[in-house]
Amino acid sequence: MIVPMKKVRVLALSHRKKEVTAALGTLGTLHIETRTAQSQDLEALREKHQRWQRAYLTIPEDKNASVPSDPYADLDSVEEIAEKVLETADEMKGFEDEAGRLQKEIDRIEPWGDFDPLLFDQDLGDSTYLFPAQLNKDHFRKIPVDLRYILLPSEKDIKRVMFLDNPEEAEGDFQYEALRLPEDSLSKLMKRRDEALAGAERMRTSIQSFQTERKQLEKGLKLLEAEQEFAAVEASLEDYEELQLITEIEGFIPEKQTGELKSFASKEGLGLVIQDPASDDNVPTLTDNPRAVGIIKPIFNFMGTTPGYKELDISFWFLLFFTIFVAMIIGDAGYGAILAVAAVFLSISSKAKTGKVPDGLILFNVLSFATVAWGAVTGNWFGYGPIADLPVLNQLVIPALDSFDVENSQAVTQMIQLICFVIALVHLLLAHLLAFSKKIQERPRIHAIADLGWLTAIIGLFFLVLNVVISVERYPVPDWSMYLIGGGIGAVFIFSAQEGDGFFKGIARGLGNFINIALDGVSAFADIISYIRLFAVGLASIEIARSFNDMAEGMMESGIGGIIGGIVVLALGHTLNLVMGALSVIVHGIRLKMLEFSSHVGNEWAGFEYKPFKN
């Protein structure tokens, strides 16, 4: 559930800003609504944080390096480390820039060979003039016969020459490009480039060695972020101009913790205003669920999603259906067993080390065993049918779902497809029931009837999907399903735009929104069909596993080498299939929850987490 919040205004004397900020941080329950605050101290801390962050990111992590797990770090020492790292990085960049500049010069001069540019400043006498230039083959043919030159190594279309007379004084219609002399000879340029590259490598090695310093920077950044948050809160305290002695801070607190805040305010001598959030307030979201439901939180954290304060917390339903989706998408009891063993091992190890099992590992266990269960009832163990025929395992297979029943493969396919669409029906009906339960508590309540309309239409669309996708003969469309679709969509037109300013005005707005509602109806039909992905991805996993099994079986018939090769193919093939299954969970399983289900519930995931200010 989403915890009810209260809006809080704390009033204090202006000269107590720092004291009040520190006290609120010690209390640690108030989510402070920091304004776009500015102060010299805060600006300096932000600039310092940027520099430290840049220094931290400059040092590549070496996981094999031996560094203290919790090295000493204070703000002054970390500042020195950051300066040292950034200076070294600047030196490395200077060397790299110089090497790059020299390389460009080398690339330009290399076709001309290795020569000393000082040669062109010498007086050669006898009216001899050294003028290097290049010109294309057409203009090369137009060089006057009385203009002396030496042809240098050239390409087919570009000719390089050393003019011995001044070409600027020659007559003739030819064009050339004079060589811009280099700053040094080619060999010296290469030597300088190599020295610059060596210097850059020395700096890079030096930076790589800063592993302890990297850990200190990481720790220092956390200290600095806490100090920065403190400064931001202090800077956001608003002074009342008409009452020079009063300062105010606003924020939000869980309703059940207001008693603690009142005691704190009384003890600290602070003014306190507690009220319900206004409709336009940007309220943080705090969810409070039983541990069994809270295990889904790592998925939300992974996606970076938080429901809005006024939206629905669908954690329980997300966990329930996500577990089903994962089991059907991976679909292999053998893979599930491997994952379950890994999950149990990691859970035992974590319990031994820390005394607790993280939510993510508990969720991993649930998903793994659910996959084993679905794979067992469909008879799929590593895509190899004979395994399901073994004693005990053959008792777990449900004949109507047997993936390896060749004689009844069409019936099995249709049954699994039916299960997918039944899940879709239940899932989407639940979404609109949840949306109805939320809207019926709002004004105007009549607006909630639109979700009952969608609920009715989805039931009718369900039978249409069965007819279109599975079988026309087996699932004919009942006449009454069309009435459900028409009546449901009609209810949406009538009630979806009701705003309490007149029933017929609401109907007119609904009819004016005809195109969008019609498209939503088409989308609802497509949303039901989209659940076929549970069948399609699971089927693909089985076929891929079968292909690798057949390939390995053929190889194993050709001696020891073939057996070894077959084992390698099995290991790599099934590993690849399992990885693809994990990706499919993200692409398909999460999508069904975050897009289809959420859009029908009305969740936009526009919230942000409740983060109380703490020292």
Taking only the tens place, the pLDDT of each residue in 490-540 is: 998 898 888 888 888 888 888 888 888 888 888 889 889 988 888 888 888
Q: How far is CA 74 from CA 71, 80, 159, 203, in A?
A: 10, 10, 66, 26
What residue has token string 């890994």? 342
Evaluate whether residue 305 is within a structural domain: no
Q: What angle do CA 489, 491, 493 make, to 5 degrees?
A: 75
Evaluate whether residue 124 is within a structural domain: yes
Does the pLDDT value for residue 16 go beyond 90? no
Nearest-CA neighbor of 494 among 511, 482, 519? 511
Average pLDDT score over residue span 352-363: 91
Q: What pLDDT score does 243 carry?
A: 44
Q: What pLDDT score does 372 carry?
A: 95
Domain limits at 137? Answer: 115-184
Mean pLDDT of the chain: 85
Please tell me the distance from the alpha carbon of residue 614 to that of residue 153, in angstroms, as a whole number.
Answer: 74
Q: What pLDDT score does 388 carry?
A: 86
3-state class (DSSP) for residue 101: helix
Evaluate whether residue 172 is within a structural domain: yes
Residue 477 · residue 485 · CB < 8 Å: no
Residue 132 · residue 178 · CB < 8 Å: yes
Q: What pLDDT score does 241 carry?
A: 44
Sequence-distant (6+) residues with CB within 8 A of 195 are none
Evaluate whether residue 141 is within a structural domain: yes
Residue 3 · residue 287 · CB < 8 Å: yes
Q: Give 242's pLDDT tier (boundaries 50, 70, 90).
A: very low
Beta strands in 92-166 (DSSP E): 131-136, 149-152, 158-163
Neighbour tally for 54: CB within 10 Å: 13
Q: What pLDDT score does 125 carry?
A: 58
Q: What angle do CA 458, 310, 441 make, to 5 degrees?
A: 65
Please tell me the distance from the alpha carbon of residue 540 to that of residue 233, in angstroms, as a whole number.
Answer: 54
Phi, psi of 298 (to 5 degrees): -60, -30
* Residues paired with 162 in a beta bridge: 132, 150
* Long-range contacts of 336-344, Cβ-Cβ distance < 8 Å, separation of 24 or more: 336/368, 336/369, 336/370, 336/371, 336/372, 336/373, 336/374, 336/375, 337/368, 337/372, 338/578, 339/364, 339/367, 339/368, 339/371, 340/365, 340/368, 340/369, 340/371, 340/372, 342/368, 343/368
Which DSSP state fits 448? Answer: G
Q: Which two tokens stand for residue 224?
A: 């600095």
Evaluate whether residue 428 is within a structural domain: no
Evaluate whether residue 140 is within a structural domain: yes
Q: What pLDDT score does 238 carry?
A: 52
Q: What pLDDT score does 434 carry?
A: 92
Sequence-distant (6+) residues with CB within 8 A of 20 are 10, 12, 237, 247, 249, 268, 270
Report, in this order, helix, strand and coil percent for the chain, each rounded to 5: 65, 10, 30
Taking only the tens place, the pLDDT of each residue in 208-236 is: 888 888 888 888 888 887 777 777 666 65
Q: What angle do CA 319, 321, 325 make, to 5 degrees?
A: 115
Q: What pLDDT score does 246 carry?
A: 61
Does the pLDDT value for residue 584 go beyond 70? yes
Please tell me the distance from the alpha carbon of residue 228 to that of residue 39, in angstroms, as a whole number.
Answer: 11
Q: Give 165's pLDDT tier (boundaries 50, 70, 90).
A: confident
Evaluate whether residue 173 is within a structural domain: yes
Does the pLDDT value for residue 66 go beyond 80? no
62 against 466, higher pLDDT: 466
Does the pLDDT value for residue 483 go beyond 90? yes
Q: How far is CA 98 from CA 93, 181, 186, 577, in A?
A: 8, 18, 15, 49
The fraction of the chain above a pLDDT of 90, given in percent, is 26
Question: Which region among 9-18, 243-252, 331-340 has the lowest average model confidence (pLDDT)?
Answer: 243-252
Classify the C-alpha dihedral 596-600-604-608 as positive or negative.
Answer: negative
Q: Give 593's pLDDT tier (boundaries 50, 70, 90).
A: low
Does the pLDDT value for residue 39 go beyond 70? no
Q: Give 200's pLDDT tier (boundaries 50, 70, 90).
A: very high
Please tell me the distance from the alpha carbon of residue 567 to that of residue 23, in angstroms, as a whole number.
Answer: 65
Q: Give 384's pLDDT tier (boundaries 50, 70, 90).
A: confident
Q: What pLDDT score does 364 carry?
A: 94
Q: Give 117's pLDDT tier (boundaries 50, 70, 90).
A: confident
Q: Give 362's pLDDT tier (boundaries 50, 70, 90).
A: very high
Please tell me the distance from the alpha carbon of residue 102 to that of residue 295, in angstroms, as a whole number.
Answer: 58
Taking only the tens place, the pLDDT of each residue in 135-150 is: 988 888 888 888 888 8
Cα Dmax for the chain: 111
Evaluate whether residue 366 is within a structural domain: no
Q: Give 348's pLDDT tier (boundaries 50, 70, 90).
A: very high
* Long-range contacts of 411-420, Cβ-Cβ distance < 8 Å, separation of 24 or more: 413/535, 414/470, 414/471, 414/474, 416/378, 416/535, 416/538, 417/469, 417/470, 417/532, 417/535, 418/466, 418/470, 420/328, 420/531, 420/532, 420/534, 420/535
Taking only the tens place, the pLDDT of each residue in 434-464 is: 999 988 988 888 888 999 999 999 999 999 9
Q: Give 155's pLDDT tier (boundaries 50, 70, 90).
A: confident
543 against 40, higher pLDDT: 543
* Number of domains making up the chain: 1
Beta strands in 540-614 (DSSP E): none
Q: Which two tokens stand for residue 340?
A: 């379950």
Q: Give 598's pLDDT tier (boundaries 50, 70, 90).
A: confident
Q: Which two tokens stand for residue 457?
A: 């239409």
The fraction of the chain above a pLDDT of 70, given in percent, is 92
